[in-house]
Amino acid sequence: MVAQIETHYKVAFADKMRLAAQQTTTELQRTCINEMLEGEKTFFDGYGQVAVGERLTRNAMNSYKEMPRERRMISPRFFDYPELFDQRDRGRTLRALEPDGLFMEAVIGAFNRKKDNVIFEAFTASAYSDKSGSTPVEFDTDQDVAHNSESFLTTDKLRAGRKILRANNVKGKLFGAGHPDQLDDLLGQTAVTNADYSHVKALADGDITSFMGIDFVWTTEITDGNFYLYSPDAMIFGHEGDIDVNFDVQSERGHALQLAVYATFAATRYYENKIVRIDCAV
């Protein structure tokens, strides 16, 4: 019977799933600062820019300054995937519990899509600041690039987004996250596909992973018609470590075997001036 499935099947499945989840980073998760969550609230403190003073006379009094701080709070969110295996279906259960099977891949894939969805929501959702984490911080509309009556992503919009970030002294590599339809938008533009403009052989590969100093990430979880341009420290993804895999028998459900997978994670913006929203919908 299903309830008597050998223990080693369950242990091997749980261990393999935890390991596979550890070794898998989602499309958007790799673009964020990854931090551990502790307790009901976890706080992260960032620091803004300061100006250095010049001493013009001997023994002058110090002119004290206060460094601006960017505090953000993350509250954990809890996600699960439970499934029941009927007593009469031992064959289906054994196939599902194969440590390298498609069932495990599907469950991990579902959690990874949820991670990307949580990060996508955090791009523009209220962030929470101050000592107690009770003050909402809304997305700064000064960080928007207008659609200009163009319902697609263009290199001009990318340049405008880069200009906003560079004006905010954001330097180095940038990430760009969008829907795969926007990849198709860029593939139709000469500045991207012409070898005279770009070292990226987009037409040959059918993909764009890097252009204009931007590392691109394409995910169907971005569903609002916008494209997001940001620095590697603009977003925080918080989690509580390994996923939790449990088996038990549900006597009230005909002694069916229950598989329950749990994970805890959340995300927030860290620096408001390090992320740009590019409008690609009219």
Residue range 229-268, pLDDT digits in tens: 999 999 999 999 888 888 888 888 888 888 899 999 999 9
Q: Which residues 6+ apart lie within 8 Å of 160 measured at CB?
A: 145, 278
- Measured CA to CA, the distance from residue 214 to residue 27 in angstroms comes to 15
Contact (Cβ atoms closer than 8 angstroms) between residue 189 and residue 164: no
Q: Which residues 6+ apart lie within 8 Å of 237 measured at CB?
A: 28, 29, 32, 33, 34, 35, 115, 118, 119, 265, 266, 267
Q: Which pLDDT value is given to residue 6? A: 56
On the question of pLDDT at 78 being above 80, the answer is yes
pTM score of the predicted model: 0.85
On the question of pLDDT at 65 being above 90, the answer is no
Structure tokens, 160: 């405008």
Q: Which domains does the chain have, with CATH numbers?
A: 2-47+71-279 (3.90.1690)
- Measured CA to CA, the distance from residue 174 to residue 165 in angstroms comes to 9
Backbone angles phi, psi at 217, to 5 degrees: -130, 125
On the question of pLDDT at 126 being above 70, the answer is yes
As a whole number, mean pLDDT of residues 115-140 equals 94
- Measured CA to CA, the distance from residue 119 to residue 273 in angstroms comes to 17
- Measured CA to CA, the distance from residue 18 to residue 201 in angstroms comes to 37
